[in-house]
């Protein structure tokens, strides 16, 4: 192919403003469609949306489960192949509020969307909250 044809067909390198705010819409996917229908394009579409806007919402995840099959792990396996940093950060971090907390993460104060541990050399690439 000549260079003009290749240039016209390449992916756009334009950075698009796609931010999530408190009042913004977050694209939702059903837990069942993500976990049970892996032959479809749902996993790809969800990952593409994470890269585009920074988050997705997974609806209707089960609330009763065995320790080794918790919903966030199932979603991580479908979307990203599994937990990639579990040795560094652990598979699960239980969010809880404690008195006299030394970190805002342990309080009941609402937090804006943000990236945890961004200063780490090997920061987590994706976090699943449930």
For the chain, the three-class secondary structure string (H helix, E strand, C coil) is: CCHHHHHHHCCCCCCCCCCCCCCCCCCEEEHHHHHHCCCCCHHHHHHHHHHHHCCCEEECCCCCCCHHHCHHHHHHHHHHCCCCCHHHHCCCCCCCCCCCCCCHHHCCCCCCCCCCCCCCCCCCCCCCCC
Length of the chain: 130
Question: What CA–CA distance (Å, rounded) separates 78 from 36?
Answer: 9
Residue 52 φ then ψ, to 5°: -75, -50
Residue 19's nearest CA partner among 104, 105, 112 is 112
**Per-residue pLDDT in tens (0 to 9) along the chain, 130 residues:** 788 888 887 776 776 665 666 666 888 999 999 888 766 688 888 888 888 887 888 999 888 777 666 787 788 778 777 666 566 566 676 777 888 988 887 888 887 777 776 676 666 566 666 5
């Amino acid at each position: 192919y000549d260079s003009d044809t290749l240039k016209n067909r390449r992916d756009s390198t334009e950075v698009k403003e796609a931010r999530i705010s408190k009042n913004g819409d977050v694209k939702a996917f059903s837990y069942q469609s993500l976990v049970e229908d892996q032959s479809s394009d749902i996993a790809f579409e969800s990952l593409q949306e994470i890269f585009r806007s920074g988050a997705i919402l997974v609806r209707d995840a089960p609330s009763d489960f065995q320790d080794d099959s918790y919903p966030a792990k199932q979603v991580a396996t479908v979307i990203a192949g599994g937990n990639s940093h579990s040795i560094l950060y652990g598979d699960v971090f239980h969010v809880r509020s404690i008195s006299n907390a030394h970190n805002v993460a342990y309080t009941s104060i609402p937090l804006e969307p943000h990236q945890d541990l961004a200063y780490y050399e090997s920061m987590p690439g994706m976090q699943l909250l449930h």
